[in-house]
Amino acid sequence: MPQLNIVRAFTLLLDDGETKVAFKPGLQEVDQTYAAHWYVRENLAPEGDATAPAGEGGAPAPAHDMILRADADVELDGVRRAHEITSGQLDEAMRTVATLVEERDRLSDEVKALRAEIAALRAAPPVSPPLGDAPALVARHRGGGSYSVMNGEVEVVQSLSKAEAEAFNAAEPEAKSAFVASRKA
């Protein structure tokens, strides 16, 4: 019977589906049929390998134990580096979030101010079309003995008599604006 150095414990289920053979770590004698099985071969230590478990009850050999610790240290170092990278990325993300929150708050305040301004404009009395500069206000004859006050091509006051139109055209710009405002009210 061949002697094999098994690395880890396993149970072999043979091709007949009913036969189970349990293997423990360590050096042991096995039947040739089992020794040739591919799964048994996968769980063997290389020949002459002192790092594979040896001894009763599967206790690891000192060299094997040292290799396991070294592997764990390497893995732990990798986890630490990943954690440091992740922490750095998290810090950067937190700074970005803080900047975005400040920007959102500033924009929110700006939107509130604009909404208040819109509400105030909606609450104010309606404004007629701009009168423009006062000299642009002129009384013109519209036919049939009727005169209108015009701001450019826009009629702002209708139905003036000839005398009212002449007085309007002779008035100062402030008086013209006051007259238009009084007739529109």
Q: Give the pLDDT confidence of 143-171 residue by residue, as tens digits.
A: 888 888 888 778 888 888 888 888 888 88
What is the three-class DSSP state of 127? Answer: coil
Q: Assess if residue 154 is contained within a domain.
A: yes
* Residue 66 pLDDT > 50: yes
* Residue 59 pLDDT > 60: no
pLDDT of residue 134: 45
* Residue 20 pLDDT > 50: yes
Quick: pLDDT tens for 86-105.
777 888 888 999 999 999 99
Number of structural domains found in the chain: 3
Shared domain check, 98 and 50? no
Helices (H), 124-172: 162-170
Closest CA to 165 of 183, 151, 146, 144: 146
Q: Assess if residue 129 is contained within a domain.
A: no
Last residue of a domain, one of 78, 104, 124: 124
pTM above 0.75, yes or no: no
pLDDT of residue 65: 66
Shared domain check, 150 and 97? no
Q: Domain residues for 37?
A: 3-60
Shared domain check, 49 and 17? yes
Q: Are the C-beta atoms of residues 165 and 139 closer than 8 Å to each other?
A: yes
